[in-house]
Structure 1
Amino acid sequence: MTPPDAAAFIRAHLPVLPVPGLPEIHLHKAVPASGVGRLAGDEAPYWAHYWAGGLALARYVLDHPERVAGRRVLDLGAGSGLVAIAAMKAGARDAIAIDADPHALAALALNAAANAVSLDIRAGDAASLVLPDVDMILIGDLFYSDDLAEAVTAFLDRCLDRGIEALVGDPWRRPLPLARLREVARYDVAETGMAPKPSGVFRFHRNVA
């Protein structure tokens, strides 16, 4: 069976809805009738849902636009593009949105258009990414496995060596490298299908005293 065209499927089956707690942003969102498994197959369609770390990080960026205003940012593991879109709405000069999933790349383009922002959308992952020419890295919900946490931490260490700042959003998942993070904000947010729960926004450091 020929797989469906990702952009056409997303437009037809995932309605554009306001993001809970972030009414400034609207995203194509999977609903029970979407049948998103027909597109994603065996891959989890994480880009079609809300996740706590991204919700908190996007809210923080919108609440503190001075953190990104006039700066070039990179949203690593961008998924739906929520954080990159928030950065552009908060006044970022440019936002690079990177994800390894081709379906996420299609969703990124559609979500950027739905929010009238421009994103530099690229395929890639933390393990193979060349150091970007940016001022800040934004990462929501990437510390969900030990191997990925190790790869992301190594990438952020290389960024620190270049003087690139990093902010992380995460609901305290087990692989989160807490010794390398300083909490700067906390929000109660609701992942898709879940009750609200706390999620933190952290600044990444080489060492935390």
Structure 2
Amino acid sequence: MNHQGMTQQPDIADFIVANMHVVAVPSVPEIRLYSAHPGSGLWRLASDDAGDDAPPPYWAYQWAGGLVLARHFLERPETVRGRRVLDLGAGSGLVGIAAGMAGASSVLAAEVDRNGVAAIGLNAALNGVDIIAISGDVTGGRVPEVDIVAVGDLFYDAELGARVTAFLDRCVDAGIEALVGDPGRAHLPHARLRLVAEHAVADVGTGQAATTKPSAVFSFG
């Protein structure tokens, strides 16, 4: 939505600190994030140029696929310990933060929304981990120099799902492990997945640990 009267883009990091709440993450209380609430006014982060095409603030909420990956990394730290991790579609950095807390040697977090990129830096500092945030869509570029790619909840859209699947194919061909966290979105490539673990985690944006749904961690190959 294009709100009239917005004349100056606020500093993203300052806005997040001033207007979002630091809360323990539902289902992953070991991690705290700057999170949206009804009074956040996230529309003020949309640029005037974007108008009605401004992307939804997906980054400001914890999705079930990211939650299940984060839970998995903290409960099975050997999955990422000592390894280079890419958190693809990182949102505000939840999965990457969990990987860092579990002992990953380095964490890259790729996010297309620049507001999310700012949040990743703030949230990483909040949790005492080091993350390098990458702004933009990396799925069409070179395969990253990492050991494992973590994909949290990117199969809700057909075109995006196809793009992510093609990217993971290239990663696997290059010897990179790929893990997918997902509650069963419509465009999940089931034929390519092997179940690794299951956890009941909070659903999208509910902010309530009591509202949970079964979600899974899959190996892609």
Same fold (TM over 0.5): yes
The within-5 A match list for 1:131-146 is: 131-146=143-158
Q: Of 135, 138, 149, which residue of structure 1 is paired with 2:161?
A: 149
Q: Residue deviations 1:70-100, cap 9 Å, x none?
A: 0001001100100000000000000000111
Given residue 215 of structure 2, which amino acid in structure 1 is its aligned partner? S
Paired position in structure 2 for 1:21: 27
Equivalent-residue separation in structure 2 for 1:171 and 1:85 (angstroms): 20
Paired position in structure 2 for 1:198: 214
SS state at 2:217 partner: strand
Equivalent-residue separation in structure 2 for 1:50 and 1:124 (angstroms): 20
Given residue 25 of structure 1, which amino acid in structure 2 is its aligned partner? I
Q: TM-score, normalised by structure 1?
A: 0.95
SS state at 2:169 partner: helix
Given that residues 110 and 138 in structure 2 are in contact (C-alpha distance below 8 angstroms), is that contact kept between their aligned partners in structure 1?
no
The within-5 A match list for 1:18-167 is: 18-40=24-46, 42-167=54-179
Deviation at 1:126, TM superposition (A): 4.2
Given that residues 28 and 107 in structure 1 are in contact (C-alpha distance below 8 angstroms), is that contact kept between their aligned partners in structure 2?
yes
Equivalent-residue separation in structure 2 for 1:149 and 1:79 (angstroms): 16
Change (3 A) 1:183 1:57: same
SS state at 1:154 partner: helix
SS state at 2:29 partner: strand
Q: Residue deviations 1:88-145, cap 9 Å, x none?
A: 0000000000111110100000000100111011112243232111000001011111
Deviation at 1:45, TM superposition (A): 0.7
SS state at 1:58 partner: helix
Q: TM-score, normalised by structure 2?
A: 0.90
Q: In the comparison of the two structures, how many residue pairs are matched?
A: 205
Structure 1 runs, 4 residues or longer, greater than 6 Å off? none
Equivalent-residue separation in structure 2 for 1:40 and 1:14 (angstroms): 15
Q: Residue deviations 1:22-70, cap 9 Å, x none?
A: 1210000001111112214632111111110000010001110001000
Unaligned stretches of 5+ in structure 1?
A: none
Percent identity between matched residues is 55
Given residue 78 of structure 1, which amino acid in structure 2 is its aligned partner? A
Equivalent-residue separation in structure 1 for 2:171 and 2:11 (angstroms): 35
Given that residues 126 and 151 in structure 1 are in contact (C-alpha distance below 8 angstroms), is that contact kept between their aligned partners in structure 2?
no
Deviation at 1:159, TM superposition (A): 0.6
Given that residues 99 and 105 in structure 1 are in contact (C-alpha distance below 8 angstroms), is that contact kept between their aligned partners in structure 2?
yes
Equivalent-residue separation in structure 2 for 1:116 and 1:198 (angstroms): 29
SS state at 2:143 partner: coil
SS state at 2:14 partner: helix
Equivalent-residue separation in structure 1 for 2:112 and 2:158 (angstroms): 18
Q: Of 173, 186, 204, which residue of structure 1 is paired with 2:185?
A: 173
RMSD between aligned alpha carbons? 1.2
